Amino acid sequence: MRLIISENKDVYFNLSLEDVLLHGTNADMLMLWQSRSAVVCGKHQNLCGEANYGYCKNHNIDLARRLSGGGSVYHDEGNVNFTFIQNLKPHEKLNINFCKFLNPMMDVLASLGVNTTYSGRNDLLLNGLKISGNAEHLQQQSRKVLHHGTLLFDSKLDTLSEALHSQGLYESKAVKSVRSKVGNIRPHNAFDDVQDFIEALAEGFMVKFGYSASNITTEENTKAQQLCTSKYSTDAWIVGYSPDYHVEKELVLYNKSVKISLSVHKGNIDKAAIIEGTAHGLDTAVSALNGKPLNIETEQQFFASLKLPYTKELKYALF
């Protein structure tokens, strides 16, 4: 069984690497990794309805979508991600089984003095606060399971709260996250920093469960870079894969509040309308949104047609 510690902190690369390892190798494995600040939504979620899109963009927080379902999570360099990839044995059923992967993690954490418990939603709690969110993906054809989760070691919890707070009233059939009170592991153990914690986790899995340290191969790295470019870092996947949704947005134009609605399909605005209020040229500007992709260029054109400077306050207001 391979144990990989990814040195790359690009969230899109590591999500791509998970995909490559799931589909490209028969070995059971555990990968430990980190990323720079990011919000990662589940495969079937509406990203804009889960994250504060403008806040994230303005604070250099990456927005990403993963292979598995479930709710949205926040990453930063104070967080440790873990990814199990395992082949099912002939007698095992192909179904979601969080305990199969969380029980070993809880065992290793306990050996490090971090005594966790289950929540009612397959999260891990420490002193009643959520320190780990988890999700799984089943690969039916090859009978493999990918389980991944977070471990909040020393994350910026105020930033997490802001980043996972969407702006606007969203309606869709997308899976919605259930918010929980979160906490960090660091105040409850003696580790100096997150790197010491990662090394202790790795050692624990090697000693207790027989994993062997392994490096990412050149081929795996190349394939992950290619998949990162073609899929995981693209707007078509990150925003466009969101299920159809309807959102109401409140804007301040010429010191007056107006409300508009957008119906979005695969990242394109199918229908835009004014709900409340008026402003010079607003009818024409809103009508021009119909049929346009929801992107920066469209937003810039919208405010330009209103003869308004595209200020930081207005940027990402439609997302």
In a structure prediction context, what are the per-residue pLDDT tens digits for the chain, which is 319 residues long?
A: 999 999 999 999 999 999 999 998 889 999 999 999 999 999 999 999 999 999 999 999 999 999 999 899 999 999 999 999 999 877 777 777 888 999 999 999 999 999 999 987 789 999 999 999 999 999 878 889 999 999 999 999 999 999 998 888 888 766 677 777 899 999 988 798 999 999 999 999 999 999 999 999 999 999 999 999 999 999 999 998 999 999 999 999 988 999 999 999 989 999 999 999 888 899 999 999 999 999 999 999 999 999 999 998 899 999 9
Beta strand ranges found along 67-111 (DSSP E): 73-75, 79-87
Query: Are 55 and 39 within 8 A, CB to CB?
Result: no
Residues of the chain with CATH 3.30.930.10: 2-238
Query: Are 28 and 85 within 8 A, CB to CB?
Result: yes
CATH code of the domain made up of 245-305: 3.30.390.50
The number of residues in the chain equals 319
CA 10 – CA 60 distance, rounded (Å): 13
At the topology level, CATH places domain 2-238 in BirA Bifunctional Protein; domain 2 (3.30.930)
Residues of the chain with CATH 3.30.390.50: 245-305
The tokens of 150 are what? 């977070």
- Look up the pTM and report it: 0.91
CA 278 – CA 287 distance, rounded (Å): 14
The tokens of 254 are what? 């010429």
CA 307 – CA 220 distance, rounded (Å): 50
Dmax of the chain from CA atoms? 69
CA-to-CA dists, residue 216 to 26, 34, 224, 315, angstroms = 14, 15, 10, 39
